[in-house]
């Protein structure tokens, strides 16, 4: 694994990881009715339709 070349790319990866963890834990009001183990897939499906 080569790692991040810049501090900015490392920052983006860290922010993305935190966002996914928050989605899984239900900190956002998106896909809250979905079971936790399926929540991430449901969120990305909802986000894809919104974009």
- Tens-digit pLDDT profile for residues 2-50: 778 888 998 999 998 998 888 888 888 888 788 888 888 888 888 888 8
44 found inside a domain = yes
Q: For position 11, what pLDDT does the model report?
A: 92
2 found inside a domain = no
Main-chain dihedrals φ then ψ at residue 5, nearest 5 degrees: -85, -30
Q: What is the DSSP letter of 39?
A: H
20 found inside a domain = yes
41 found inside a domain = yes
Q: Is pLDDT above 70 for 1?
A: no
- Whether the full predicted model's pTM is greater than 0.75, yes or no, is no
Q: For position 4, what pLDDT does the model report?
A: 80
By the 8 A CB rule, do 25 and 39 touch? no
Q: For position 23, what pLDDT does the model report?
A: 83
40 found inside a domain = yes
Main-chain dihedrals φ then ψ at residue 47, nearest 5 degrees: -65, -35
1 found inside a domain = no
Per the structure, the complete domain to which residue 19 belongs is given by 7-50
16 found inside a domain = yes
Number of structural domains the chain divides into:
1
């Amino acid at each position: 694994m080569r790692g991040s070349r810049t501090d900015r790319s490392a920052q983006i990866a860290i922010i993305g990881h935190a966002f996914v963890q928050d989605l899984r834990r239900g900190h956002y009001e998106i896909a809250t009715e979905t079971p936790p183990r399926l929540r991430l897939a449901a969120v990305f499906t909802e986000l894809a339709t919104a974009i």
